Structures are given as structure tokens and as C-alpha cells.
Amino acid sequence: MYPISRWKRRTLAAALSAIALSFAPQELSFTQQAMAADKTITAVMHSDLRVIDPILTTAYITRDHGYMVYDTLVATDSNFKIQPQMADWKVSDDKLTYTFMLRDGLKWHDGTPVTAEDCVASLKRWAKVDGMGQKLMDFTASLEATDAKTITLKLKEPYGLVLDSIGKPSSRVAFMMPKRLAETPPDKPIPEQIGSGPFKFVQAEFQPGVKAVYVKNKDYVPRKEPASWTAGGKVVKVDRVEWVTMADAQTAMNALQSGDIDFVENPSFDTLSILEADKDLKVETLNKFGFQTLGRMNFLYPPFDNIKVRQAALLAVNQKQVLDALVGNPKYYKTCVSFFICDTPFASEVGGETLAKGGDMAAAKKALAESGYDGTPVVIMAPGDVVTLKAQPVVVAQQLRDAGFKVDLQATDWQTVVTRRASQKAPKDGGWNMFFTNWVSADVSNPIANLSIGGQGKNGGWFGWADDQKIEQLKDAFVRAPSLDEQKKIAADVQKEAYDQVIYIPLGQYQAPSAWRKSLTGVLDGPATPIFWNIDKSE
């Protein structure tokens, strides 16, 4: 097969026409109409899309899909302020009652009106699995639809993160969906993709691992405010957006330069200088706050059910080696041992002193020898199809081997990791011992937002299922703290406990530039990028 860089546009069109012929007759006319649309953005995202329920997983590609199809009650703007989106709100004087009023003109993609009952069901489904949602429900006395357009949330005691939880911009977002879908258990996928957002998902053209297609929702009524992060007017200026899968970074770069595609979310760091020199392209970091990358262990099975083994593994890790392999250019990365992001109010080195020094291999070997480790292989899932997740498992696997661990590094793809990490089966039965992921900084900036620092265990906890009631008690104290100084102290206590128990291993921070053709204008920045409203395309 020839690289896409050698394709001409008519060759690409012919290939797409061939794909179209595989659809049923009733679907063919729709496909042909979509292909004839005036403006189509073709994008290569950081991963292919397979899981399409945005509540089922924390994977960012699924979150990105969610923003295309669904909308939120409230949203976060570029000043970190919560703004109305689907609803306005008011708060009672005693801070115990939040009333949300749906704005006029909201419709689901099937043409039915959005109701408060739909939104209550959506909030309840989201809150069962999201860390901030779970904590919000701990403080909630009742959540109900008091009429067709009014949602009433009553608290047991004042809780200052109500709006921040419902309007958080990333990870598991509180997306609204029809009640019949929202009543699906949160560990089961919803049966169809019906939202009220600015794009409609074209199920007939969805080919997992190949492409996902979205068309403009012509019934969507944007807010009148300017677009700002995930808030404001979501004005769609193109007819169609196609996400195509190109796992090979060189192929994606060639396709971008030739004009066969318009946007690449995460070009390889090795190609950035070439892309920056191309006068037809723009290279820019859309998420200015960057990412935290981390390693997560499975607490349910040997060897990492043993705290001493986990501590030995932590001692073996060298962040700089990981970041050199992942990014290479120090312009785009920094070592950081804070669980809550360096250079932010809750940044601290408490508990991470050895990691800050680059680890201690001699101490790791000694600790492992004294831990009772019996040689159980560490099954590490290693996705090879995502630029920002290739290096971590390979480098850390070697660090663990150097410390005396036996490691089974299993090559796979990211969407398999996304599915497999939810399994609580033993590693020998298809489970796992360790995987790696990245969080945008907004998702880990404090103990409540940081889902992976939770200690809820097997029932409700994040993948790996750490069981730590002390952390949960500290998180409760954090949200009740009367001042920022007290919150900082509690956040440091949370971090110390997280390091003592090795809840996860922070591997540092990095930025990931995107690249697009200059024929695209209006590309928005933010902590949950890329988003495709506000973008226009000229020929």
C-alpha cells in the first residue's frame, strides 16, 4: 500500500467512494450527500475511537467524542470560571439549594425536547463513576426534576465544588443525554449516540480503528457569548468532520503536508521542527497547561497487592529517563513529583524526595529483596499506536527489570488498554498488573479532581482499585477546609499518603503541540482540546 503522502486528492476521493459502496442503499445516499458537503475537516486524533460512551471510560478520545455529540449544563471558560451552557442557575442564601433552569430551544438529535428529567438521570449516571461526581453525591440530600425545565439539587451541608464538578472540562464530563440512555448502568455502554450537542454522530459510517464521522447539527442553537474553552457559543462552521486513524507518525505528517488531512492532534515530537518549517502549517500547543503522565498498578493481585513491592518499584523509577524517551526535547517537558501539578497552588514535593533525585536503584533492589517478591511476572500493557503513550511502558519495564522484577511487556493498542484496564480478572486470565496513562493538568490539579488518587477500592474506585480510607477521609477534610492555606496542608497530607501507599507513580509533565493547515482558522485552545466548533476552513 502506498503511503498516503503519494495519494492525490482524487485518489483519496475514489477510495472513500469505494468505502461508501459498502453501505446499504438507504445509507448510501446519506454518505454521498455528506461527501459532497462544502466543508469537511479531516483530522488525525491522538488515538482511534472504539469506546463511544463518554461515561464508560476516562479515555480522552472518548471525551473528545463526547464534546462533539453531547452538551453540558454548565461549562468552564478560559478564566477558570463556570458559565451557563444548557442551563442558568441560582443558589439559595444558605448555600444548600442549587436550582438549574434549562434554556429554551434544546433538542435531542432525534428531535425530542430536552427535559429536566433527562438531565437528572444523566447527572446521576455520571456521578456514580466520576471522582468529583461521587464526592458531590456524598454531600447531596436530593437531586430531582421539579418541573420540565428545572433541576433542583439540595445539599446536606454547603459544598463549594458543586458547579466546578458539574462543569469540569475534562476526563469524565457531565454530558447530558436522554433519560432512556442515561438509565443505562454506568458500567454498560449506551445503545445509541443521541445528544443535544453541536454535531451528530454518523453511526452508519463508524468504523472502529478506521474512522469516525460527525455532521453539523443544524438544529443546534449556540449561546450568544464568544466561544471560550468549553463554554460560550459552539458555532459549527463546517458541514462534516472526519477522524481518520493513522497510527504511523510519519504517514500522518506526510498527509498533513500534502493536504490530504487538515489537522493532527499529536504529531511525533521528532517531526515538530519539520512541521514548524512548513509555511502552509501552524504548530501550536492548544493545552497550555500540559499533561501529567503516570504509571498505575493493580492493587488486587500479586505482586502489587504487596505494599513493599510497590515501594520497591517506586524506588526504581527515573522520571527523566521516561521523559527523554517520550518527548526528548526539554522545551516540552519537566520532571515533577507533585501529584497536583507543579507551579500550582497545591504543588508539593512531600513524599517524592527520592523520585525527585531520579530514583535509587540500589535501594530498589534491596527493598525488592526484602519484600517477599516471589518472581511473579509484572504484566504491563504497552500500546504502540499512541505517540504520547509508547515510551512509558518500555522505559519503566526496563527500570523494573534492573531492580530485579520479572516483566511481561505485552504489546497492544490503546483502545485495547482502555477496555482491558477495566477488567478485574487476574493477570493470567487476561487482566493486568500495570498500565500508563496521561491526564491533562486540569484533571489532577487538586485531591478531588484527581480521580486516580482515590481510595474507594473495588466498588467505585478507578482502575487499579486502591483501597485507602485515609485518603478518602483527607479528601472530605479538603472540601470542608475553611481556607486555601488549610487546603494546601491537607493536599500535602494526601500526597504523603499517596506516596507511602504508592497509589500511582507520577512520571512528570509535558506539553503536546498540535499541527494543522493554515486553511483552518478559529482553532480554540483549552484543557479539553481539540474541539471542532468555531473552526472554519478555506480552500
Domains in the chain with CATH codes: 4-68+194-285+514-537 (3.40.190.10), 71-182 (3.90.76.10), 291-510 (3.10.105.10)
Amino acid identity, position 536: D
Give the phi and the psi of residue 16 in degrees, each rounded to 5.
Answer: -65, -35
How confident is the model at residue 459, as a pLDDT?
84
Give the predicted TM-score (pTM) of the model: 0.86
How confident is the model at residue 350, as a pLDDT?
97
Instruction: Label residue 192 exposed, middle or buried (CB < 10 Å: 0-12, 13-18, 19+).
Output: middle
Assigned C-alpha cell, 340? 497536583
Q: Which residue is it, cell 524526595?
A: 353
How confident is the model at residue 38, as a pLDDT?
80
How confident is the model at residue 1, as a pLDDT?
34
How confident is the model at residue 29, as a pLDDT?
40
CB 501 within 8 A of CB 7: no
Q: Give kind and range of the element (H or E) at residue 320.
A: helix 319-326
CA pair distance 402, 17, nearest whole angstrom: 52
Residues 6+ apart with CB under 8 A from 140: 153, 154, 155, 156
CB 393 within 8 A of CB 325: no
CB 359 within 8 A of CB 399: yes
CA 353 vs CA 94, 342, 357, 380, 397: distances in Å: 43, 14, 7, 26, 22
Assigned C-alpha cell, 245? 486513524
CB 500 within 8 A of CB 201: no
The pLDDT profile of the chain, 539 residues, written as one tens digit per residue, is: 333 333 333 333 433 333 333 433 444 444 444 444 489 999 999 999 999 999 999 999 999 999 999 999 999 999 989 999 999 999 999 999 999 999 999 999 999 999 999 999 999 999 999 999 999 999 999 999 999 999 999 999 999 999 999 999 998 999 999 999 999 999 999 999 999 999 999 999 999 989 999 999 999 999 999 999 999 999 999 999 999 999 888 999 999 999 999 999 999 999 999 999 999 999 999 999 899 999 999 999 999 999 999 999 999 999 999 999 999 999 999 999 999 999 999 999 999 999 999 999 999 999 999 999 999 999 999 999 999 999 999 999 999 999 999 999 999 999 999 999 999 999 999 999 999 999 999 899 999 999 999 899 998 899 999 999 999 999 999 999 999 999 999 999 999 999 999 999 999 999 999 999 999 999 999 999 999 999 999 97
Amino acid identity, position 5: S
Residues 6+ apart with CB under 8 A from 229: 75, 76, 77, 78, 169, 524, 525, 526, 527, 528
How confident is the model at residue 231, as a pLDDT?
98
- CA-wise closest residue to 67 among 40, 87, 49: 49
Is residue 465 left, alpha or beta, with left meaning phi > 0 and alpha meaning psi from -120 to 50?
Answer: left
